[in-house]
Structure 1
Amino acid sequence: MSNRQGVSSPGAPATEKARDIGRDCIFVKDWVIDCNIGVYAEEKGVTQKVRLTVDAYLAPELRASGDDMDTVPSYTDIIDAVNERTAEGHINLIETLAEDVAARVLGDARIAAIRVRIEKLERGPVRGVEIYRTRADAVR
């Protein structure tokens, strides 16, 4: 679960890499789902495949203790957040889906930051969005 070498993508800015070094992370990588998403008329009323990668960085002081799943967040929490949001109905923008998933996961005080990457896989070239949010970003 811990990645002491850094968890940022190779092209991430140096400040972003420094922020992530030493941070434990739970993740869901390259999860392909059918999603009712898109702003164009031909995208409404149908599903299309999207690929999600979500990295949720744990609060710095958080550690698993006693081999007890209840002491740390689970990647299942990420999966549940995606499933709950997509079950609510049509989403126009993948940016909206990314923001909603980030907000839901950051609702757990044990999560300090999150990176959400969503890619549309159909109806043209692979395209998408990636966001990085911290707990401070979630405070409104």
Structure 2
Amino acid sequence: MSRAPKARVPKVRISRTPTLDRVFMHDLVLDAEIGVYTNEKGVTQRVRFSVDVDVKPAKGALGDDIAQAFDYDTIIHGIKTILGRCHIHLVETVAEQIAEHCLAHPRAARVRVRVEKLDKEPGAVGVEIVRAKGRA
């Protein structure tokens, strides 16, 4: 009896992509002074924010210490601070500012920001951006 040839097992390549954890805040709805049109000036609109931040794992154990973590309250506080500064014309502007705020954290590597105006049309309209450290 002849034996069947051995099947070749493909070599598995190990990814060189760095390991990242994710901190997120989804579906935060706030009143915001946002919009470029005359009817959007001097009034607030409901705006929904969702943010995902990929963070480098902590070096060593966090020891259950909030000061060592990238806290989702950092995202929420940043959004509220940005909205409190002045009237914003474009959702793209607020999305960029939120991304910059998140990426300023030393452990943050990449961020996805979604900003949706809820009162413009039936449903939601908005923008989603992805930014990473080291990219334009």
TM-score bracket, shorter-length normalisation: 0.7 to 0.9
Please give the alpha-carbon distance, in whole angstroms, between the structure 2 residues aligned to 1:118 and 1:38: 13
List per-residue Cα deviations over 1:1-38 (Å, max 9, x = no partner). Answer: xxxxxxxxxxxxxxxxx9x9952111110010000000
Larger radius of gyration: 2
Instruction: Give the structure 2 partner of residue 136 of structure 1.
Output: 134
Percent of residue pairs bearing the same amino acid type:
43
Match of 1:26 among 23, 33, 41: 23
One-letter amino acid of the structure 1 residue matched with residue 75 of structure 2: I
- Counterpart mapping for 1:24-63 below 5 A: 24-60=21-57
TM-score by length of 2: 0.81
TM-superposed CA distance for 1:109, in Å, is 1.3
- 1:52/1:119 contact within 8 Å kept: yes
Q: How big is the alpha-carbon RMSD for the aligned residues of Structure 1 and Structure 2? A: 2.2
What runs of 5+ residues in structure 1 fail to find an aligned partner? Answer: 1-17
Instruction: Report the structure, 1 or 2, having the larger helix content.
Output: 1
List per-residue Cα deviations over 1:88-130 (Å, max 9, x = no partner). Answer: 0100000000000110111111101100001110021311100
Tell me which stretches of 4 or more aligned residues in structure 1 moved more than 6 Å: none
What runs of 5+ residues in structure 2 fail to find an aligned partner? Answer: 1-14
How many residues end up aligned between the 2 structures?
121
TM-score by length of 1: 0.79
1:121 maps to 2:123? no
